[in-house]
Structure 1
Amino acid sequence: MKSKEVTSLHTGESELPEGVTRWRQGRIRDGIPTGAENESYHFVVRHEDFLDLLGPSPRIEKVAETNAHEGLLYMPDTDSLLFTTLGVLEHAPNQIKRLCLKTHEIFFISENTDYANGMTLDCQGNLLICQQGCKGSPAYIEKIDLKTGVSSNIADNWYGRRLNGPNDIVVKSDGSIWFTDPDYPMEQGFGEENPMLKNQVYRIDPDGTVDVVADKFQKPNGLAFSPDESRLYVTDTGYYSGVPEVDKNRPHSITVFDVKNGRQVHDRRLFASICAFDGSSLGMPDGIKVDTAGRVYVANADGVQVINETGVMLGLIRVEKAVTLAFGGPLLDTLYIVNDHEILSVKLNATGAGLPYAGTYHKLPQYAKQ
Structure 2
Amino acid sequence: MNFLQIILPFIISLAACKQINQAKLSTDNDKIDRIRIEILDKQAKRFLTENSRIITIARGFNWAEGTLWLKDQQALLFSDVPENKIYRWSAKDGLTTWLEPSGYTGPKEKKREGSNGLLINDKNQLVICQHGDRRISLMNAPLSNPEPKFISLVDNWRNKRLNSPNDAIYHDGMLYFTDPPYGLPGQDQDPEKELGFYGVYRIGHTGAIIMVIDSLLRPNGIGFSPANEVMYVSDSDPKRAIWMKYTMGTNGNAVSGKVLYDATDLVGKVNGLPDGLKVHPTGYVFATGPGGLWIFSPEDEVVARIHIPQATANCAFDDTYTHLYIAADSTILQVTLKDGMGKQ
TM-score, scaled to structure 1: 0.74
Out of 312-321 and 192-201, give the one that drifted further. Answer: 192-201
Return the alpha-carbon distance in structure 1 between the equivalents of residues 150 and 130 of structure 2.
12
Change (3 A) 1:191 1:113: farther
The answer to which structure has the higher strand fraction is 2
1:60 aligns with 2:54: yes
Return the alpha-carbon distance in structure 1 between the equivalents of residues 152 and 41 of structure 2.
45
1:157 aligns with 2:185: no
Deviation digits for residues 165-195 of structure 1, max 9, x if unmatched? 10111111x3210000012233646976233
Is the contact made by 1:100 and 1:106 (CA closer than 8 Å) also made in structure 2? no
Secondary structure at the aligned position of 2:240 is classed as: coil
Give the match for residue 95 of structure 1: 85
Return the match for 1:343 from 322, 329, 332. Answer: 332
Is the contact made by 2:6 and 2:37 (CA closer than 8 Å) also made in structure 1? no
1:292 aligns with 2:255: no
Return the match for 1:47 from 37, 41, 45. Answer: 41
- One-letter amino acid matched to 2:182: Y
Is the contact made by 2:163 and 2:193 (CA closer than 8 Å) also made in structure 1? no
| Correspondence list, 1:98-247, <5 A | 98-111=88-101, 113-114=103-104, 115-133=114-132, 138-147=133-142, 151-172=150-171, 174-186=172-184, 188=186, 193-239=192-238
Change (3 A) 1:109 1:45: same
The structure 1 segments of at least 4 consecutive aligned residues displaced by more than 4 Å after TM superposition are: 15-18, 187-192, 275-279, 350-353
Change (3 A) 1:350 1:269: farther
Structure 2 residues not aligned, in runs of 5+:
10-32, 105-113
Deviation digits for residues 217-267 of structure 1, max 9, x if unmatched? 01101100011111000000111xxxxxxxxxx210011111111511111
Secondary structure at the aligned position of 1:50 is classed as: helix
Deviation digits for residues 94-128 of structure 1, max 9, x if unmatched? 21121123231323312453221111111221111
Is the contact made by 2:312 and 2:327 (CA closer than 8 Å) also made in structure 1? yes
Return the alpha-carbon distance in structure 1 between the equivalents of residues 308 and 35 of structure 2.
10
Return the alpha-carbon distance in structure 2 between the equivalents of residues 229 and 168 of structure 1.
17
Change (3 A) 1:345 1:331: same
Return the alpha-carbon distance in structure 2 between the equivalents of residues 279 and 295 of structure 1.
27
Change (3 A) 1:86 1:155: closer
- One-letter amino acid matched to 1:317: I
Return the alpha-carbon distance in structure 1 between the equivalents of residues 177 and 254 of structure 2.
14
Deviation digits for residues 254-310 of structure 1, max 9, x if unmatched? 111111115111111111112587992496111111101111111124111111111
Secondary structure at the aligned position of 2:184 is classed as: helix
Change (3 A) 1:112 1:230: closer
Structure 1 residues not aligned, in runs of 5+:
1-8, 21-38, 88-92, 240-249, 354-370
Larger radius of gyration: 1
Give the match for residue 70 of structure 2: 75
Give the match for residue 252 of structure 2: 263
Is the contact made by 1:289 and 1:298 (CA closer than 8 Å) also made in structure 2? yes
Aligned length: 303
Change (3 A) 1:187 1:219: farther
Return the alpha-carbon distance in structure 2 between the equivalents of residues 123 and 255 of structure 1.
27
Secondary structure at the aligned position of 1:171 is classed as: strand
Secondary structure at the aligned position of 2:207 is classed as: coil
Is the contact made by 1:65 and 1:342 (CA closer than 8 Å) also made in structure 2? yes
